[in-house]
């Protein structure tokens, strides 16, 4: 039995995220082509890595049909020009797909089965809306295993507002405004662009174009504007398009390696994986998932919440981030939380988002050598949470 090895995050890139729909950046772009672009860019940026040394390609997609099907990790690896000797596979843990891709290959590296792996995710929600082609078992409702709202993410967010009456719509809107402001500042300061890979995108009516920036952010968003938005999930509700992530298209990918192999190949080691955990919660309040997953990951690492200097929390809904912060006694505007903004601004192409969190955390770590530990965490449809704790190697 091999001794467990340290696992490091080497590098990560993503496509700019587009708005889903016929007018979006990627309306006529294939999902697998976005993954291919990301894999090729990872290899281009890390010339010290011989392609045959990649031991696995794990790619997540929530809706695994059409151009997101065909064991997308393997098919994208072949399309990207990696040697045919490099295997690959597909993963589905809804929003935490790419996060699970990373933790899966990390386990393999730690065990000694792999030296270097590519992990990531893609979601083309314009081509494949969430829930396309699914056939939920009628027993879920007939046997009251879950509430009817559990399968509609916006309704689970309204349920979370019910559970945390202190989290008002105004607080959620204020958090959303801050996310947009932080994202705009991160762009202005050049913090986001280094990890975006330009993506060629074609539209029949317009010809070829180049996607070079996220399409979703709305800089200049005001509290006044958000207050006037409709609440589609409940009359007089608290969840709006303004305080939730959008419906988006995009792909992410990263290189994960054994620390000694990264050193051998001259690859950067940006952060070390300390621990990870996934947890289940009631599906009708799936937004609380990051609370138990973070508690478990902290316990496994022998750390407390006070040891964490940076938080990258996926902003599926503002209320879900605020519930996490309230539970751990962290202020709504704590500067450690999503310093570059989050999914409310950038968008949330479901299975790809976990690696976006890691890319941003590694960039923040590089700027903050005073911070030792950070976490990436997210809520997951069907009632789960996922958390990965990282150590800053800067």
| Spatial contact of 32 and 68, defined as CB atoms under 8 Å apart | yes
Count CB atoms within 10 A of the CB of residue 87. Answer: 15
How far apart are alpha carbons 66 and 69 in whole angstroms?
5
Minimum mean pLDDT among 20-34, 137-151, 164-178, 264-278: which range? 137-151
The domain segmentation of the chain, as residue ranges, is 7-127+246-389
1 pLDDT exceeds 60?
A: no
The per-residue pLDDT for 4 is 85
Q: How far from each other are the two terminal CA atoms of the chain, in whole angstroms?
A: 31
Say which of 95, 124, 128, 161 is annotated catalytic: 95
| Spatial contact of 46 and 30, defined as CB atoms under 8 Å apart | no
Output the CA–CA distances (angstroms, integers) from residue 65 to 32, 223, 351, 380, in the order listed.
11, 39, 14, 20
- Mean pLDDT, the chain, rounded, equals 96
For 127-213, where are the alpha helices, taking DSSP H only?
139-142, 153-163, 169-188
CATH superfamily for 7-127+246-389 is Thiolase/Chalcone synthase (3.40.47.10)
Q: Tokens for 364, please give them.
A: 């923040």
The per-residue pLDDT for 355 is 98
Bridging pattern class, strands 56-60 and 373-380: unpaired
List pLDDT tens digits, range 185-223.
999 999 999 999 999 998 888 889 999 999 999 999 999
How far apart are alpha carbons 383 and 284 in whole angstroms?
7
The per-residue pLDDT for 204 is 84
The per-residue pLDDT for 10 is 98
List pLDDT tens digits, range 60-116.
999 999 999 999 999 999 999 999 999 999 999 999 999 999 999 999 999 999 999
Active site residue 95: yes
Average pLDDT over residues 258-263: 98
How far apart are alpha carbons 290 and 308 in whole angstroms?
15
The per-residue pLDDT for 2 is 58
**3-state class of 86 per DSSP?**
coil
How far apart are alpha carbons 224 and 353 in whole angstroms?
29
Residue 99 φ then ψ, to 5°:
-60, -45
- Of the pLDDT bands very low, low, confident and very high (cuts 50, 70, 90), residue 21 is very high
205: left (phi over 0), alpha (psi -120 to 50) or beta: alpha
3 pLDDT exceeds 80?
A: no
Active site residue 348: yes
The per-residue pLDDT for 205 is 86
CA nearest neighbour of 80 among 48, 51, 53: 51
The per-residue pLDDT for 394 is 85
Active site residue 254: no
| Spatial contact of 349 and 248, defined as CB atoms under 8 Å apart | yes
Average pLDDT over residues 285-298: 97
CB neighbour burial string for 302-329, b if at least 16 within 10 angstroms, e if fewer: ebeeeebbbbbbbbbbbbbbbbbbbbbe
């Amino acid at each position: 039995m091999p001794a467990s090895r340290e696992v490091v995050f080497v590098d990560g890139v993503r496509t700019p995220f587009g708005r889903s729909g016929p007018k979006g950046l990627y309306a006529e772009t294939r999902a697998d082509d976005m993954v291919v672009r990301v894999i090729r860019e990872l290899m281009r940026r890390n010339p010290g890595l011989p392609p045959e040394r990649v031991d696995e390609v794990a790619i997540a997609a929530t809706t695994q049909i059409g151009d997101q099907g065909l064991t997308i990790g393997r098919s994208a690896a072949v399309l990207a020009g990696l040697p045919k000797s490099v295997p690959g596979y597909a993963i589905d843990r809804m929003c935490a797909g790419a996060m699970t891709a990373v933790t899966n290959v990390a386990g393999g590296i730690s065990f000694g089965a792999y030296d270097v792996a590519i992990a990531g995710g893609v979601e083309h929600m314009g081509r494949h809306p969430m829930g396309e082609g699914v056939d939920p078992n009628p027993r879920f409702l007939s046997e009251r295993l879950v509430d009817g709202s559990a399968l509609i993410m916006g309704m689970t967010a309204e349920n979370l507002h019910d559970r945390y009456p202190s989290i008002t719509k105004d607080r959620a809107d204020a958090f959303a405004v801050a996310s947009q402001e932080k994202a705009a500042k991160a762009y202005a300061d050049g913090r986001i662009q280094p990890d975006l890979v330009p993506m060629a995108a074609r539209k029949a009516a317009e010809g070829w174009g180049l996607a070079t920036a996220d399409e979703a952010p709305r800089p200049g968003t005001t509290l006044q504007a958000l207050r006037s938005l409709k609440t589609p999930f409940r009359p007089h509700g608290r969840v709006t398009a303004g305080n939730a992530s959008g419906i988006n298209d995009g792909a992410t990918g990263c290189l994960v390696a054994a620390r000694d192999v990264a050193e051998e190949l001259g690859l950067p080691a940006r952060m070390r994986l300390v621990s990870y955990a996934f947890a289940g919660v009631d599906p009708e309040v799936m937004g609380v998932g990051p609370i138990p997953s973070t508690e478990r990951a902290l316990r496994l690492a022998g750390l407390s919440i006070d040891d964490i200097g940076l938080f990258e929390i996926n902003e599926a809904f503002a209320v879900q981030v605020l519930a996490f912060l309230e539970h751990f006694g962290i202020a709504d505007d704590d500067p450690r939380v999503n310093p570059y903004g989050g999914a409310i601004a950038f968008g949330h192409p479901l299975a790809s988002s976990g690696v976006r969190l890691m890319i941003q955390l590694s960039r923040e770590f590089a700027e903050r050598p005073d911070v030792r530990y950070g976490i990436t965490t997210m809520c997951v449809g069907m009632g789960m949470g996922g958390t990965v704790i990282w150590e800053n190697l800067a």
